[in-house]
């Protein structure tokens, strides 16, 4: 992992800069504990994770480092200092430890606390881990803390910068508190942080990849809710890249949320057509569905049943008000149907059903090993997935153009397929090609730069997830920092209540 040396050098420069203002890094007790968690490139499955799809994810070389240390003060100081080419300005926030501890008693209290000041809402991705540890592990903050976040996972590019920060923060703070968490447990807690504290209705694939991934291997996740499948080696004649469209992606944006709501509307309608018992819930706009067969996941319905019995009964578009009047509500606890909004129900319902089938075929083909015919079919599956995003309303001019450029280059240049990734509506495009096709990828980037005036970032490497990286100690040697991996940690900051 070449970013370790970059991280160490960045810390030395940052410490010198902060010292000029009398606020040097880590003046507290003992060597800080550090966790590292990568971003991810979504190859197949995408936003269908919340509908139970199989997803295939690649952990990126870009990652977030989070270092934590006990201090003798009464504040939790959070410094965010990214070291990527598009890193935002340094952010330095101090929160009263006692006030923060009170806010961590429930997810609702934590959400209200972190969202009261928009300029400080970003701290929820980091300090939200303190709430999860208190609520789920009965561990309470009892002292001041220094927390440093250094990430080169670019924000808003659809490569899961938020999950990388969440996973690294939870891993580091759990280690400092003497709490041992399994990799999947880390992912599920981080999803809860993003859903209930940050307020973004994401699925689980991002956090699972950041926590559980392995370098240069696809991580198959059956999102029901988070079942890891055997890791998948990329055939040695293929390679996967990511190209940034420069269109900012937000999982909390209306487009992503609307498509998620529409999929759950389609599930409610389909459940009634299939004769599943649907009961009104005590929660407004929600229903309970007894579904032992499909277990609440559209991905389990299957293409054949969908085409024969369900597709024609789903409206292409439906207002929230008409849906609520006719069907009562949805089962999703994270999102709500808005009466005054119109939803693309049929496309949003179809996507996870077909995407699950595509992801399973993609995995089976990759398991066969090398072969250009395999590459061609894999690429076609990616193009189909991209078109399905567009049908749901999650496309964008930039990502569509990148896919068009890849398609135009085609197999003659060694490029087999491309698709928008993650939650869509901008962000990054995943590209599949022959291992020697890097010049063709660079040509796509050059053409896109000529057309738009923006030179895209290329994602071309991979690295291990947070679980494989483990916990390291950050040691100061004069004016330099060194990260020492493999050193066991001891409880020093949090106590069981």
Q: Which of 339, 364, 386 is the last residue of a domain?
A: 339
The reply to whether 156 and 181 lie within a common domain is yes
Domain identity same for 131 and 214: yes
pLDDT per residue over 367-382, tens digit each? 988 887 899 999 999 9
Cβ neighbours, 10 Å, residue 292: 7
**In this structure, is residue 12 part of a structural domain?**
yes
Which residue did the predictor score with more confidence, 328 or 83?
Answer: 328
pTM confidence score: 0.93
Any idea what the Cα angle at residue 447 is, between residues 443 and 452, rounded to 5°?
145
Beta strand extents in 53-122 (DSSP E only): 54-71, 75-80, 91-96
pLDDT of residue 490: 47
Residue 477 pLDDT more than 90?
A: no
Q: How many distinct structural domains can be found in the chain?
A: 3
300 part of a folded domain = yes
Q: Looking at the domain assignment, is residue 432 inside a domain?
A: yes
User: How confident is the model at residue 21, as a pLDDT?
Assistant: 59
What does the DSSP assignment read for 329-363? -BS-SS----TT-EE-HHHHHHHHHHHHHHHHHHH
User: Nearest Cα to 14, choosing from 69, 72, 67, 62?
Assistant: 67
pLDDT tens-digit profile of 253-311? 568 899 999 999 999 999 999 999 999 999 999 999 999 999 999 999 999 999 999 99
φ and ψ of 106, to 5 deg: -150, 160
144 lies in the same domain as 213 = yes
Give, to the nearest 10 degrees, the angle between helix 397-409 and helix 438-452: 140
pLDDT, residue 364, reads 96
* CATH code of 177's domain: 3.30.230.10
* Residue 430 burial (C-beta neighbours within 10 Å; 0-12, 13-18, 19+): buried
- The pLDDT > 70 percentage for the chain reads 95
pLDDT of residue 489: 45
Residue tagged active-site, from 42, 49, 146, 206: 206
> Would you say 151 and 65 are in contact if contact means Cβ atoms under 8 Å apart?
yes
The answer to which of 82-91, 173-182, 340-349 has the lowest mean pLDDT is 82-91
Q: Does residue 106 sit in the same domain as residue 194?
A: yes
Indicate the average pLDDT of the chain.
Answer: 92
Taking the C-alpha atoms of residue 160 and residue 229, their distance in angstroms, rounded to an integer, is: 21
Q: Are 168 and 284 found together in one domain?
A: no
Please say if 206 is a catalytic residue: yes
Domain assignment of residue 391, given as a range = 240-251+352-459
Assess if residue 385 is contained within a domain.
yes
Distance of CA 225 to the CA centre of its chain: 15
Tokens encoding 475: 């040691």
Q: Express the helix, strand and coil content of the chain in percent, nearest 5 each.
A: 45, 25, 35
The better pLDDT of the pair 146, 248 is held by 146
Q: CA 50 to CA 488: how far, in whole Å?
A: 36
- What's the average model confidence in pLDDT over 472-495? 72
Q: What is the pLDDT of residues 377-403, one digit of tens each?
A: 999 999 999 999 999 999 999 999 999
Q: Is residue 347 part of a domain?
A: no
483 and 423 belong to one structural domain: no
């Amino acid at each position: 992992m070449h970013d370790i040396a970059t991280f160490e050098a960045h810390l030395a420069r940052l410490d010198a800069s902060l010292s000029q203002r009398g606020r040097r890094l880590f003046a507290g007790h003992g060597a800080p504990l550090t966790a590292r968690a990568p971003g991810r490139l979504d190859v197949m499955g995408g936003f269908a994770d919340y509908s139970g799809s199989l997803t295939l994810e690649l952990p990126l070389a870009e990652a977030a480092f989070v270092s934590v240390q006990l201090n003798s003060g009464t504040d939790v100081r959070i410094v965010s200092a990214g070291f990527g080419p598009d890193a935002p300005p340094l952010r330095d926030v101090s929160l009263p430890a006692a006030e923060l501890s009170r806010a961590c008693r429930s997810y609702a209290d934590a959400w209200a606390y972190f969202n009261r000041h928009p300029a400080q809402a970003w701290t929820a991705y980091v300090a939200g881990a303190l709430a999860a540890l208190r609520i789920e592990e009965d561990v309470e903050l009892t002292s001041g803390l220094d927390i440093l976040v250094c990430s080169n996972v670019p924000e808003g590019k659809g490569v899961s910068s938020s999950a990388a920060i969440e996973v690294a923060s939870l891993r580091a703070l759990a280690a400092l508190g003497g709490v041992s968490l399994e990799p999947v447990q880390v992912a599920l807690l981080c999803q809860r942080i993003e859903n209930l504290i940050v307020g973004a209705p994401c699925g689980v694939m991002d956090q699972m990849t950041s926590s559980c991934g392995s370098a240069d291997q696809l991580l198959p996740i059956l999102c029901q809710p988070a079942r890891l499948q055997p890791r998948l080696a990329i055939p040695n004649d293929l390679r996967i890249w990511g190209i940034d469209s420069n269109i900012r992606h937000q999982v909390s944006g209306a487009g992503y949320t609307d498509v998620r709501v529409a999929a759950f509307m389609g599930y409610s309608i389909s459940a009634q057509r299939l004769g599943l018992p649907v009961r009104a819930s005590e929660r407004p706009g929600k229903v309970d569905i007894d579904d032992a067969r499909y277990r609440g996941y559209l991905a389990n319905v299957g293409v054949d049943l969908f085409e024969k019995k369900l597709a024609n009964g789903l409206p292409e578009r439906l207002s929230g008000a008409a849906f609520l009047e006719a069907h009562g509500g949805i089962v999703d606890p994270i999102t709500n149907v808005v009466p005054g909004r119109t939803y693309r129900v049929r496309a949003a319902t179809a996507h996870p059903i077909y995407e699950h089938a595509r992801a399973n075929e993609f995995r089976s083909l990759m398991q066969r090993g090398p072969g250009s015919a395999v590459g061609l079919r894999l690429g076609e599956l990616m193009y189909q997935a991209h078109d399905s995003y567009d049908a749901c309303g999650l496309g964008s001019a930039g990502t569509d153009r990148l896919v068009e450029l890849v398609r135009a280059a085609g197999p003659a240049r060694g490029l087999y397929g491309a698709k928008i990734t993650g939650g869509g509506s901008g962000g990054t495009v995943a590209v599949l090609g022959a291992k020697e096709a890097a010049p063709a990828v660079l040509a796509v980037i050059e053409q896109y730069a000529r057309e738009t005036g923006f030179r895209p970032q290329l994602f071309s490497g991979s690295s291990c997830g947070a679980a494989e990286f483990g916990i390291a100690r950050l040691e100061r040697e004069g004016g330099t920092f060194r990260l020492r991996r493999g050193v066991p940690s001891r409880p020093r900051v949090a106590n069981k209540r």
